[in-house]
């Protein structure tokens, strides 16, 4: 009978119909058996689910452990060095360049010297200047490295006015500066009009200022004693104190501003070491400490009048009698001697905030190890002036039309070499177009990088934008 009922209840509908009879003994037994079967199936499903879940969790934990184990065994990249008192002093340029990744073994005291410096280490960061430079063409960038006479810019024999020719020349060459001489001045109103027009043209074209410079220092003057009618101040050699130096340069700054000028190639930092030296009465004297005090006062006075000081002539002509305008000049002075004398007034000017330093054509083989003029020497410009004296402003070469340069170098070669050495601006090249094209070609052929040009422009435009 059991087999019969089992067969009868294989059909689900029949099972449900017969199941409706609660009084049936067979129905009661079948109901109990069915409930056990359902319960057992549910329990089996639960157990199976738990087994699968447990297995999955175990696999996850095992994989996580393995990944963490092997990850921790990989070599780690160390963070770059932090800036602290051990890496930056008051005399060190404030921009620290760090490599992308540094291993524990890659830097040691044997491989890096505290005195080592690159051109890029001394570059100020000015967002306004950076944005401006990023919008310049390469041609504008290269032209911006030159300070030239109005004659070199326009091609005329003698320039005494700034009109359409000047505007057209500025549109072609966005030079960084213009330096004037006595022949550009025929009267007060004439010269004021000339500088005002030049600055206006430049502002219209480039929405910024151009450096308009002269050499005005008391002993050597462009405005004083010219047809402009300006009276010269006391010369450096006759200046008795730092207060007198301040008063003199306050006067100079006042009339330079009146005539539309914004840069003075002065004061002279050279210490008069030898009687009859080339620097002569342009020096404040033979005592480095006293000269340093006068330089500090002079730089401060020019700043007070809104004039950018360009201190001259690093590292100093104080012990040579030869004139670089006539040929090469050389000194036997050692670096140790210069550190105790010649460098001190320059350091004072730098500390006082001089915007620019003019580097001379003096050869100093006992310092640089070669016969390169200082203006073309990376040892003198990058290692010493920037690295040791901490100058991060504009480095300007002395006039490159002097025989000390033209006797051995073409205008183009000299300009490229000066920039390679760390100079930012080339003053009065013997052939402006030739020098400009040589630098442009050097960038295009990879001798100079555009990034190197931008470094100099950052210093130039940081001053122009008032940093």
CB count, 10 Å around CB of 22? Answer: 8
Q: Which long-range contacts (CB under 8 A, 24 or more apart) does 160-164 make?
A: 160/184, 160/185, 160/186, 160/190, 160/194, 161/190, 161/193, 161/194, 161/197, 162/193, 162/194, 162/195, 162/197, 162/198, 162/201, 163/197
Nearest to 404 by CA among 374, 438, 368: 374
HSE, CB side, 13 Å, CA atoms: give it for residue 52: 6
pLDDT of 124 reads 74
Q: Give the 3-state secondary structure of residue 372.
A: coil
Could you read off the pLDDT of 214-223 as tens digits, one per residue? 999 988 999 9
d(CA 224, CA 255): 9
CA distance readout (Å), 59 to 5, 46, 62, 63, 70: 48, 20, 5, 6, 17
Q: Quickly state the pLDDT bin for 49 (edges 50, 70, 90).
A: low
The tokens describing 119, both together, are 């051109």
Q: Is 427 left (phi over 0), alpha (psi -120 to 50) or beta?
A: beta
Q: Alpha-carbon distance 349 to 44, whole Å?
A: 92
Contact, 345 vs 295, CB < 8 A?
A: yes
- In this predicted structure, what is the pLDDT of residue 126? 85
- Residue 343, token pair as written in the block: 């460098």
Per-residue pLDDT band for 373 (boundaries 50, 70, 90) equals very high
pLDDT band at 50 (very low <50, low <70, confident <90, very high): low
Query: How many angstroms separate the Cα of 22 from the Cα of each of 12, 17, 29, 33?
Result: 17, 11, 10, 15
Contact 254, 305 (CB under 8 A): yes
Predicted confidence at residue 15, as pLDDT, reads 39
Calculate the average pLDDT of the chain: 83
Q: In angstroms, rounded to a whole number, what is the distance separating the alpha carbons of residues 47 and 53? A: 10
- What is the C-alpha to C-alpha distance for residues 76 and 82, in angstroms, rounded to an integer? 18
Residue 97 has pLDDT above 50, yes or no: no
Tokens encoding 417:
């070499």
Query: Is residue 151 a contact partner of residue 157, using CB atoms and an 8 Å limit?
Result: yes
Side-chain-facing half-sphere of 122: CA atoms under 13 Å = 27
Instruction: Give, in words, the CATH class of 126-464.
Output: alpha beta
Provide the β-strand partners of residue 155.
Answer: none
Say whether pLDDT at 96 is over 80.
Answer: no
pLDDT of residue 313: 96
Decide if 429 contacts 435 (C-beta within 8 A).
yes
Positive/negative CA dihedral, 314, 429, 207, 127: negative
DSSP string, 392-449: -SEEEEPPTTSHHHHTT--HHHHHHHHHHHT--BEES-SSHHHHHHHHHHHHHTTSS-
Spell out a b/e string for 190-213, using b for 16 or more CB atoms within 10 Å of the CB, else e: ebeebbebbbebbeeebeeebbbb
Q: Phi/psi class of residue 67: alpha, beta or left (left: φ > 0; alpha: ψ in -120 to 50)?
A: alpha
The CA R_g of the chain, rounded to the nearest whole Å, is: 40
How confident is the model over 118-169, as pLDDT tens digits? 555 567 778 999 999 999 999 999 999 999 999 999 999 999 999 999 999 9
Q: Averaged over 435-440, what is the pLDDT?
A: 98
Domain regions of the chain by residue span: 2-72, 126-464
Mean of the pLDDT values across residues 411-439?
98
* pLDDT given at position 120: 57
What is the residue whose two structure tokens read 């320039």?
A: 159
Report pLDDT for 463: 96
Residues 6+ apart with CB under 8 A from 358: 265, 310, 311, 312, 313, 314, 396, 397, 398, 427
């Amino acid at each position: 009978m059991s087999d019969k009922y089992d067969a009868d209840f294989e059909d689900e509908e029949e099972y449900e119909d017969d199941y409706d009879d609660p009084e049936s003994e067979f129905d009661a037994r079948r109901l109990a058996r069915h409930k056990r079967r359902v319960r057992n199936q549910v329990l089996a499903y639960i157990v199976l689910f738990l087994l699968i879940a447990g297995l999955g969790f175990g696999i996850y934990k095992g994989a996580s452990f393995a990944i963490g184990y092997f990850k921790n065994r990989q070599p780690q990249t160390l963070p770059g060095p932090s800036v602290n008192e051990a890496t930056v002093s008051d005399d060190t340029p404030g921009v620290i360049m760090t490599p992308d990744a540094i291993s524990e073994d890659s830097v040691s005291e044997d491989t890096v010297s505290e005195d080592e410096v690159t051109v890029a280490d001394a570059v100020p960061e000015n967002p306004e200047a950076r944005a401006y430079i990023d919008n310049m063409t390469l041609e504008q960038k290269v032209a911006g490295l030159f300070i030239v006479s109005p004659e070199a810019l326009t091609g005329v024999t003698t320039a005494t006015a700034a009109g359409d020719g000047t505007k057209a020349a500025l549109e072609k060459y966005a030079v960084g500066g213009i330096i004037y001489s006595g022949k550009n001045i025929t009267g007060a109103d004439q010269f004021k009009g000339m500088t005002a027009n030049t600055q206006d043209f430049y502002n219209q074209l480039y929405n910024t200022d151009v450096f308009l410079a002269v050499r005005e220092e008391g002993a050597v003057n462009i405005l004083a004693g010219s047809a402009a009618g300006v009276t010269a101040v006391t010369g450096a050699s006759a200046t008795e104190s730092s207060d007198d130096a301040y008063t003199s340069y306050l006067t100079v700054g006042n009339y330079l501003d009146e005539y539309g000028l914004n840069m003075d190639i002065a004061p002279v930092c050279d210490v008069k070491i030898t009687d009859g030296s080339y620097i002569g009465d342009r020096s404040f004297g033979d005592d480095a400490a006293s000269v340093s005090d006068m330089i500090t006062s002079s730089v401060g006075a020019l700043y007070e009048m809104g004039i950018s000081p360009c201190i001259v002539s690093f590292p100093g002509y104080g012990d040579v009698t030869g004139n670089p305008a006539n040929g090469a000049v050389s000194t036997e002075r050692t670096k140790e001697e210069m550190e105790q004398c010649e460098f001190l007034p320059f350091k004072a000017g730098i500390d006082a905030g001089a915007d620019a330093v003019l580097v001379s054509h003096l050869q100093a083989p006992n310092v640089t190890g070669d016969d390169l003029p200082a203006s073309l020497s990376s040892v003198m410009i990058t290692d010493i002036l920037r690295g040791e004296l901490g100058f991060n402003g504009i480095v300007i070469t002395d006039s490159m039309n002097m025989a000390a340069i033209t006797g051995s170098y073409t205008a183009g070669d000299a300009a490229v070499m000066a920039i390679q050495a760390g100079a930012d601006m080339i003053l009065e090249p013997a052939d402006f177009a030739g020098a400009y094209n040589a630098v442009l070609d050097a960038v295009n052929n990879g001798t100079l990088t555009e990034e190197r040009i931008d470094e100099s422009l950052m210093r130039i435009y940081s001053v122009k934008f008032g940093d």
